[in-house]
């Protein structure tokens, strides 16, 4: 039995893959602690995983919504959200170091949380990367201009980790590659959906998707009654993109009017603030935190933002999609779904209207059988990959190789508590 710490920060979609992996490692006989925002304590402990609070007790989904509300440009709002999380990580290095002590392995998130502290203590690390765009294509032959641009970007990306390293007297990292694990980088995506780059170094391994079916979930009777009262509904699940800092009535109106126009029953997740004084038609129902592993199986098709979690879930649970990407990698996931033939063309969030949503719904109706058949066939192949089992096996191979050599600079002792 090995002692493992897992670190990650962000909204629920950022936490969920790491929680699935932590559960799988526990089931394999290891002792795991997951360190993240205090607001996720209940969710993590209910999943049977030990929890370590890192950073201030903030509602990270609300904080992200506030930033989105202040900054209309999606890319800029995402950048500011990332900077907000980076500041928490930098300010929490003492907490992170304390959780790392005595561990045999540190699982490092896409934000590299825990990587520097692990190097100080000589604990081996394994990376988890959710966005393949973040993986350096080291083996690719580059022109001089490309090399210079790559070095410039890398030197900027490594700054937060050098700030953490300065607390321990570490020499400066020259590039972000030096922060990442050279042993193993797990990518919880499927090569059936996202092609691995031939220019990645061999430690970057695509395992297949990580998921749990949560078969013991018991839905409320009101939701069951709604589902039994008519045809399968459309599911509206925009994830963190529908978590509001203020009412967004106009956005919700777009979807409600489109569903009425096309005669669709609907289940709506999110929009809690707007729905406080919003009367939905009797053919629509608002729900709170219902697992996608159960909810998506009840729907006809799903309208979602193509975040990492919902994009994976739509494939794993065999439901066609209408993508509404908002930021960064969501556009890439939306395009992948369209290319696979399991979705409509992505809708542009800046041009969202009831008419455009209704047109997408009609497109889905006309081509539903073909898209449903394709996504069901793909679902079976994705599940056969057994991504979590593959990840656990690879992690155990790293553990078998033993620890790194600790750096132990300036005042850091092996037995310090």
User: Which domains does the chain carry?
Assistant: 3-209+385-400 (3.40.50.2000), 221-383 (3.40.50.2000)
Question: Does the pLDDT of residue 166 top 70, yes or no?
Answer: yes
pLDDT of residue 152: 59
Rounded distance between C-alpha atoms, residue 391 and residue 413, angstroms: 32
Rounded distance between C-alpha atoms, residue 392 and residue 388, angstroms: 6
Task: Look at 288 and 155; give whichever has higher pLDDT.
Answer: 288
If pLDDT is split at 50, 70 and 90, which confidence band does 79 have?
A: low
73-82, 168-177, 384-393: range with highest mean pLDDT: 384-393
- Nearest residue to 322 (alpha-carbon basis) of 285, 275, 357: 357
Report CA-CA distances (Å) from 97 to 13, 89, 158, 192. Answer: 25, 11, 19, 38
Beta strands at 125-128 and 105-108: parallel, antiparallel or unpaired? parallel
Question: Could you tell me the sign of the dihedral formed by the alpha carbons of 271, 277, 278, 281, in that order?
Answer: positive
If pLDDT is split at 50, 70 and 90, which confidence band does 5 have?
A: very high
Q: pLDDT (tens digit, 9 = 90+) per residue, 43-52? A: 999 999 999 9
Least confident of 1-5, 132-136, 198-202, 285-289: 132-136
Least confident of 302-306, 343-347, 372-376, 400-404: 400-404
pLDDT above 70 covers a percentage of the chain that reads: 86
Q: pLDDT (tens digit, 9 = 90+) per residue, 193-210? A: 999 999 999 999 999 999
pLDDT of residue 255: 94
């Amino acid at each position: 039995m090995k002692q493992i710490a897992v670190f990650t920060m962000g909204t629920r979609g950022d936490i969920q893959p790491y929680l699935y992996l932590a559960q799988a490692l526990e089931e394999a006989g290891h002792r795991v602690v997951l360190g993240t925002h205090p607001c996720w304590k209940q969710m993590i402990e209910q999943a049977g995983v030990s929890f370590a609070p890192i950073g201030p007790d903030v509602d990270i989904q609300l904080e992200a919504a506030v930033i989105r509300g202040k900054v209309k440009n999606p890319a800029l709002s995402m950048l500011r959200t990332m900077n907000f999380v980076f500041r928490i990580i930098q300010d929490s290095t003492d907490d992170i170091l304390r959780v790392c002590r005595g561990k045999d392995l540190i699982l490092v998130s896409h934000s590299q949380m825990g990587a520097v502290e692990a190097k100080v203590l000589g604990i081996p690390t394994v990376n988890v990367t959710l966005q393949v765009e973040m993986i350096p294509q080291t083996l690719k032959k580059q022109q001089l201009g490309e090399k210079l641009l790559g070095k410039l970007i890398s030197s900027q990306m490594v700054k937060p980790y050098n700030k953490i390293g300065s607390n321990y007297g570490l020499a400066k990292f020259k590039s972000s590659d030096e922060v990442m694990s050279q042993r193993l980088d797990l990518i919880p995506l499927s090569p059936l959906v996202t092609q691995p780059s031939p220019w990645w170094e061999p430690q970057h391994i695509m395992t297949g998707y990580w998921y749990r079916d949560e078969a013991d979930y018991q839905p409320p009777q009101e939701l069951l009654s709604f589902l039994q009262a008519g045809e399968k509904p459309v599911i509206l699940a925009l994830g963190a993109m529908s978590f509001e800092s203020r009412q967004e009535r106009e956005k919700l109106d777009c979807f409600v009017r489109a569903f009425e126009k096309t005669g669709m029953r609907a289940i709506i997740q999110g929009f809690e603030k707007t729905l406080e004084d919003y009367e939905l038609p009797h053919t629509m129902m608002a729900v709170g935190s219902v697992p996608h592993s159960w909810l998506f199986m009840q729907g006809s098709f799903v309208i979602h933002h193509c975040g990492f979690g919902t994009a994976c879930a739509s494939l794993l649970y065999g439901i066609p999609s209408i993508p509404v990407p908002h930021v960064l990698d969501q556009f890439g996931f939306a395009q992948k779904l369209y290319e696979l033939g399991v979705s409509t063309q992505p809708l542009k969030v800046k041009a969202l209207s009831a008419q455009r949503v209704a047109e997408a719904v009609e497109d889905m109706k006309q081509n539903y059988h073909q898209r449903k058949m394709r996504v069901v066939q793909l679902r079976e192949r994705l599940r056969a990959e057994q991504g979590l089992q593959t990840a656990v096996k690879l992690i155990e191979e790293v553990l078998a190789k033993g620890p790194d050599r600790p750096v132990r600079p300036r005042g850091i002792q092996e037995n310090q508590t």
